[in-house]
C-alpha cells in the first residue's frame, strides 16, 4: 500500500536569508591571517617531549601517582637533575 502524501506544503524559507550572527557564532568562527588559517589551541612548546613506555615497580608507580597531578613532570625533572649530577646532561 502506498503512503498518503501530506496535503499541505512544507514551510518555505528563503535560502538567501543570512543566519543570525550571535556571540556563539564568533566564538567558533575560523580566524585568518591574510589567506592563512590561524591554528587553534595551545602554541607549540619550545622543547618537544617524546612518549615512551617505561616499566616501573608497582609500589614506585603508586607512590608517584599518589603525589598528585603533575607526577610525570616531576619525574622528568628528577631524571634531568640526576643526569646533570652525573655529568651526562648539560
Written as tens digits, the pLDDT of the chain (90 aa) is 577 776 777 777 777 777 788 898 888 888 898 999 888 888 888 888 899 999 999 999 999 999 999 999 999 999 999 999 999 987
Predicted local distance difference test score (pLDDT) of residue 30: 87
Structural domain boundaries of the chain?
47-90
Pick the closest to residue 41 from 31, 33, 52 (CA basis). 31
Predicted local distance difference test score (pLDDT) of residue 41: 83
Predicted local distance difference test score (pLDDT) of residue 14: 79
- pTM of this prediction? 0.50
User: In sequence order, which residues have a C-beta less than 8 Å from that of residue 32 and are 6 or more positions away?
Assistant: 38
DSSP label at residue 51 = -
From CA 81, how far away is CA 73, in angstroms rounded? 12
Amino acid at each position: 500500500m502506498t503512503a498518503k502524501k501530506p496535503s499541505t506544503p512544507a514551510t518555505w524559507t528563503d535560502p538567501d536569508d543570512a543566519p543570525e550572527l550571535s556571540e556563539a557564532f564568533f566564538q567558533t568562527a575560523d580566524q585568518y591571517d591574510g589567506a592563512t588559517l590561524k591554528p587553534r589551541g595551545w602554541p607549540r612548546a619550545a622543547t618537544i617531549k617524546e612518549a615512551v613506555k617505561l616499566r616501573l615497580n608497582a609500589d614506585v608507580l603508586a607512590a608517584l601517582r599518589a603525589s598528585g597531578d603533575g607526577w610525570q613532570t616531576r619525574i622528568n625533572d628528577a631524571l634531568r637533575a640526576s643526569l646533570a649530577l652525573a655529568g651526562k646532561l648539560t
